Amino acid sequence: MRIEKNKIDEHNYLGLKEHQRKFDFIASDLMNTKEILRKLIDFQVAIPSWALGTGGTRFGRFPGGGEPRNLEEKIEDIGLLHTLNKSGAAISLHIPWDIPDNAVHIKALGTQYGLKFDAMNSNTFQDQPGQTHSYKFGSLQNVNPETRRQAIDHNLEVIQYGIDLGSESLTVWLSDGSCFPGQLNFRKAFLHTLEGLEQIYAAIPEKWKMFVEYKAYEPNFYSTTVGDWGQSLLYANKLGKKAFTLVDLGHHLPNANIEQIVSLLLMEGKLGGFHFNDSKYGDDDLTVGSIKPYQLFLIFNELVEGMDARGMDHAKDLGWMIDASHNVKDPLEDILQSVEAIMITYAQALLIDRRMLVEAQSNNDVVSAQEILQHAFRTDTRPLVAEARLNAGGALDPLAVYRNERVREKLIKQRGSKAMATGL
């Protein structure tokens, strides 16, 4: 379904006066409102094709109905979100969950909704029906060369789908590792994986990037072959200039200093992409900013500082994506909340007084440094984000329009209460 522009205009008209009052208040304090609004408008976050259905755990799944039944409907859903918030102009596909059988048609459909095809994701963490070799004991690390070959070939196929759709990057997340001590020779597992990644890298087109995603644990519980940013960076450095590390916020051990990781990867020119979510215990895949908003802010602080230090374009030079799962919420509402949290936090990071912070740091003025950061963090940037959205043609309050228009109800009517999306 689509939301008509006049519905959004109507909603904006009703909320405009109130919004203007709040916006004028924050803008009166700023020197560079225009520049900030420009950056907020330009910043786009890709939505993964697997985040549109209800997520589950190994204990169960409680779908809410009306989920997209095919790739076309997934594009439709992301298009709908983008109409509302104008911040999600891309879709990231997972193969084989979302094979674009007719790439020309799928690409055209994306264009119709103003969407590009972001990173392609390969899947060697599950066995597919009819698959010759099992990934039970890993894919690229596997002791069996034929299993490794199969995993490499799958990635080559994914690259080809990406070329057809106009994507420009491949994300490789491997669940490879071991569950028990002694199960695996770490060195051999690493070298096999490197060999496989090298063959995949050789097929990466000149303009493309290859992202190596790391994760501390799960589904393997003793060791993971790309377990942390050190291992990912080793691979990326060995592979070459088109290879980068990808940071997923949920893939660290508790209390890891993710902002420091981000800063150093940026310094090395090796941060490629980012998966947003939030977590309390592990890879919880919760709504962005729902548990640790201050950590998210500190990460954005380093992102902005590090990208500016290298003269990078905030919107284009890194791959931004949401990687979350929604067990108890309407997935589309959850994504709207996540994108909103990202924009609010990005805006806060843009407000940090960099000159004052540098000064405080060079004087070892710890108190002032904290004040400067927290002043920005405690600023309510929601009116800035809403103004940017208004200028871009979106809704002042996307969630309110979504609810007023009774989108889920209509989707259930259209697709049925049992419609289930592919994914985990």
Rule CB under 6 A: choose which of 12, 44, 83, 121 binds ligand AFD: 121
Q: How many residues bind ligand AFD (CB under 6 A)?
A: 9
Residue 424 interacts, among Mn ion, ligand AFD, none and using kind-specific CB cut-offs from 5 to 8 Å, with ligand AFD
Distance in Å, CB of 341 to ligand AFD, minimum: 18
The verdict on 278 binding Mn ion (CB under 5 A) reads no
Residue 50 interacts, among Mn ion, ligand AFD, none and using kind-specific CB cut-offs from 5 to 8 Å, with ligand AFD
Identify whether 181 is preceded by a cis peptide bond (ω within 30 of 0). no
Output 322 or 350, the one with its CB closest to ligand AFD. Answer: 322
Distance in Å, CB of 35 to Mn ion, minimum: 31
Q: Find residue 177's DSSP bridge partners.
A: 224
Q: How many residues bind Mn ion (CB under 5 A)?
A: 4
Here the tokens at position 250 are 């949920």
The verdict on 248 binding ligand AFD (CB under 6 A) reads yes
Angle of helix 354-362 relative to helix 366-377, nearest 10 degrees? 160
Distance in Å, CB of 172 to ligand AFD, minimum: 9
For residue 117, which phi and psi values (nearest 5 degrees)? Answer: -100, 110
Question: Which positions from 33 through 72 interact with ligand AFD, judged by CB under 6 A?
Answer: 50
CB under 8 A, 24+ apart: contacts of 267-270? 267/306, 267/309, 268/233, 269/310, 270/233, 270/236, 270/237, 270/244, 270/245
Distance in Å, CB of 98 to ligand AFD, minimum: 12
Distance in Å, CB of 44 to ligand AFD, minimum: 18
Residue 250, SS3 per DSSP: coil
Residue 121 interacts, among Mn ion, ligand AFD, none and using kind-specific CB cut-offs from 5 to 8 Å, with ligand AFD
Output 259 or 323, the one with its CB closest to Mn ion. Answer: 323
Rule CB under 5 A: choose which of 67, 76, 118, 283 binds Mn ion: 283
Distance in Å, CB of 176 to ligand AFD, minimum: 13
Here the tokens at position 130 are 């009819």
Rule CB under 6 A: choose which of 23, 43, 117, 173 binds ligand AFD: 173
Given the DSSP bridges, would you call strands 116-121 and 56-57 parallel, antiparallel or unpaired? unpaired
Quickly tell me which residue has 């927290």 as its tokens: 374
Question: Which positions from 228 through 267 interact with Mn ion, judged by CB under 5 A?
Answer: 248
The Cα–Cα gap between 152 and 119 comes to: 17
Output 301 or 325, the one with its CB closest to ligand AFD. Answer: 325
The Cα–Cα gap between 236 and 45 comes to: 23
Element (H, E) at 56: strand 56-57
Rule CB under 5 A: choose which of 67, 305, 323, 340 binds Mn ion: 323
- Are the beta carbons of 196 and 151 closer than 8 angstroms? yes
The verdict on 252 binding ligand AFD (CB under 6 A) reads no
- State the Cα angle at 278 between 272 and 283, rounded to 5°: 80
Residue type, 87: S
Q: Find residue 116's DSSP bridge partners.
A: 90
Residue 405 interacts, among Mn ion, ligand AFD, none and using kind-specific CB cut-offs from 5 to 8 Å, with none
The verdict on 424 binding ligand AFD (CB under 6 A) reads yes
Output 305 or 323, the one with its CB closest to Mn ion. Answer: 323
Quickly tell me which residue has 């803008």 as its tokens: 27
Which residue from 239, 243, 240, 241 is spatially nearest to 211, judged by alpha carbons?
Answer: 243
Distance in Å, CB of 357 to Mn ion, minimum: 30
The verdict on 176 binding Mn ion (CB under 5 A) reads no
The verdict on 275 binding ligand AFD (CB under 6 A) reads yes
- List the x/- string, 290-329, binding to ligand AFD by CB under 6 A: ---------------------------------x------
Distance of CA 422 to the CA centre of its chain: 18
Measured between alpha carbons, how far is residue 173 from residues 50, 214, 360, 384 in Å? Answer: 14, 7, 40, 35
Which residue from 212, 277, 208 is spatially nearest to 47, judged by alpha carbons?
Answer: 277
Mention every residue, 6+ apart, whose C-beta is less than 8 A from residue 125: 135, 139, 173, 174, 175, 219
Residues binding ligand AFD (CB under 6 A): 50, 121, 173, 213, 248, 275, 283, 323, 424
Residues at the contact surface with Mn ion, assessed by CB under 5 A: 248, 275, 283, 323
